């Protein structure tokens, strides 16, 4: 097929990325097996929007003929109040992936570099490529967290962004307060650090830092003048389909990102759901965190019983070394369970399993022994 368009070469490399949702769509075709599919491939919160958020969405539908508030001031003020920071430091967008896109647009010239761990969230790589800039993936430590020393060594004069996923997706590894602090102290002044805390609310570890309060808040943070911290409503708040995330970052970067942003990107329903979610009592989120940690332990024990090594995870997911990831993921799909093969992430022997509800995990644990996973004995 020929085309009359000149597509920017930077986009040509991007077509390989597909989300786990593809398999869900395929299941709707007649030849596929009957029954519901268990979706453990996308790290979504498994609980749905909080009741108060569902109520807020229902109430907001009636005003669906009106454009949303242009600068999202109401939600930005609520986020600012929640964290005790000024509204001018808060940027809201249609998911944190969109924020990565705007950071690229604001900070990367063709030929610049963005550095991050590998394997990690694919958007760091893809949003860098889109600008004609160069993604630099630095292998993780054996425990599955970012190797901050190696990342610092990979920095060049062209490096403009350094992403730290804490905890990392897909491995689940954490950086401690001391490690993040030391990294920020040593990072050269020409690089913008982006601390991605998408799974913040799942973490229950005293050494895990709160990037907003400890590093990015203007009153207290030594790194407030350049640090970006990302949070999302897609995970524990259960709003992945409503697309809302935010960044806490320096006011001039907020201004630049807002100039680059598509107008009315975040819709009325997402804004209403996010506001209600922030206002929800802390115990509702704590309950989800505790359940997730309990279920993660259950899955970890089942994997150990099968001889499948996994990485210690602080998030709502586990990276498990099953052998041939594509084969095992396809076999699990045949048994009605979707997990994510990490082949395109550079870990073809591993899958990532989202920690679902108890019935969802029971389904997975029953299906796993019927796949051709490789049993590993002894050390991983």
Residues that bind ligand PLP (CB under 6 A): 43, 95-97, 121, 165, 169, 196, 198, 232, 234-235, 240, 245
| CA–CA separation, 140 and 27 (whole Å) | 35
> Min. distance of Cβ 57 from ligand PLP in angstroms?
17
Nearest-approach distance from CB 366 to ligand PLP, in angstroms:
27
Query: CB of 117: closest distance to ligand PLP in angstroms?
Result: 10
Q: What are phi and psi of 133, to 5 degrees?
A: -95, 175
Residue nearest to ligand PLP (CB): 95
Q: Between 352 and 363, whose beta carbon lies closer to ligand PLP?
A: 352
CB closer to ligand PLP out of 245 and 368: 245
Distances (CA, A) of 252 to 236, 256, 305, 341: 30, 6, 52, 39
How far is the C-alpha of 376 from the C-alpha of 380, rounded, in Å? 7
Is residue 341 a contact partner of residue 329, using CB atoms and an 8 Å limit?
Answer: yes
**Smallest gap from residue 257 Cβ to ligand PLP (A):** 15
Q: What span, in angstroms and rounded, lies between the C-alpha atoms of 170 and 342? A: 8
CB of 260 to ligand PLP, least distance (A): 17
Q: Which residue has the tokens 């989202």?
A: 354
* Cβ at position 121, least distance to ligand PLP in Å: 4
**Closest distance between ligand PLP and the C-beta of residue 2, in Å?**
35
Query: Closer to ligand PLP at the Cβ: 324 or 341?
Result: 341
Nearest-angstrom CA–CA distance, 213 and 210: 6
- Min. distance of Cβ 232 from ligand PLP in angstroms? 3
Ranges of beta strands (E only) in the chain are: 38-39, 90-93, 113-118, 134-139, 159-165, 192-196, 228-232, 245-248, 317-321, 337-338, 340-341, 350-354
Cβ closest to ligand PLP, residue 152 vs residue 240: 240
Q: Which is nearer to ligand PLP, 172 or 373 (CB)?
A: 172
Is 45 or 250 the residue whose CB approaches ligand PLP more closely?
A: 45
- Complex with ligand PLP: residue 265 or 362, whichever CB lies closer: 265
DSSP secondary structure code for residue 216 in this structure = I
Q: At what angle do helices 122-129 and 96-107 cross, to 10 degrees?
A: 40
> Do 249 and 225 form a contact (C-beta atoms < 8 A)?
no
Could you tell me which of 264, 188, 259, 179 has the C-alpha nearest to residue 226?
188
Name which of 97 and 159 has its Cβ closer to ligand PLP: 97
Distance CA 231, CA 269 (A): 19
For residue 379, the SS3 value is coil
Q: Report the nearest approach of ligand PLP to the CB of residue 345 (Å).
A: 11
Q: Which is nearer to ligand PLP, 95 or 137 (CB)?
A: 95
């Amino acid at each position: 097929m020929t085309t009359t368009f000149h597509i920017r070469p930077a986009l040509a490399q991007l077509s390989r990325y597909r989300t786990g949702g593809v398999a869900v769509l395929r299941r709707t075709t007649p030849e596929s097996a009957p029954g519901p599919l268990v979706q453990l491939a996308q790290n979504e919160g498994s609980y749905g929007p909080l009741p108060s958020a569902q109520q807020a969405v229902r109430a907001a539908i009636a005003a669906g003929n009106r454009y949303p508030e242009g600068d999202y001031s109401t939600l930005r003020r609520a986020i600012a109040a929640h964290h005790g920071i000024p509204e001018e430091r808060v940027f809201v967008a249609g998911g944190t992936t969109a924020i990565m896109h705007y950071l690229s647009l604001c900070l990367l010239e063709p030929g610049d570099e963005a550095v991050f761990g590998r394997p990690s969230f694919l958007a760091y790589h893809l949003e860098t490529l889109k600008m004609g800039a160069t993604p630099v993936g630095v292998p993780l430590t054996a425990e599955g967290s970012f190797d901050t020393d190696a990342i610092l060594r990979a920095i060049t004069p062209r490096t403009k962004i350094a992403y730290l996923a804490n905890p990392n997706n897909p491995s689940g590894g954490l950086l401690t307060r001391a490690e993040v602090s030391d990294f920020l102290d040593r990072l050269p002044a020409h690089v913008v650090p982006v601390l991605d805390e998408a799974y913040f609310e799942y973490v229950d570890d005293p050494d895990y830092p709160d990037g907003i309060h400890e590093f990015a808040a203007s009153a207290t943070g030594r790194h407030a003048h350049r640090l970006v911290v990302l949070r999302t409503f897609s995970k524990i708040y259960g709003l992945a389909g409503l697309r809302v995330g935010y960044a806490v970052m320096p006011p001039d970067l907020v201004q630049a990102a807002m100039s680059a942003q598509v107008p009315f990107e975040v819709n009325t329903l997402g804004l209403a759901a996010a506001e209600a979610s922030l206002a929800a009592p802390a115990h509702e989120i704590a309950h989800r965190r505790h359940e997730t940690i309990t279920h993660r332990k259950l899955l970890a024990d089942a994997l150990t019983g099968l001889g499948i090594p996994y990485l210690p995870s602080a998030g709502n997911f586990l990276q498990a070394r099953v052998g041939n990831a594509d084969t095992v993921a396809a076999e699990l799909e045949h048994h009605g369970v979707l997990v994510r093969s990490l082949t395109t992430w550079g870990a073809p022997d591993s899958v990532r399993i989202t920690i679902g509800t108890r019935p969802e995990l029971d389904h997975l644990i029953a299906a796993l022994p019927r796949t051709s996973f490789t049993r590993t004995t002894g050390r991983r």
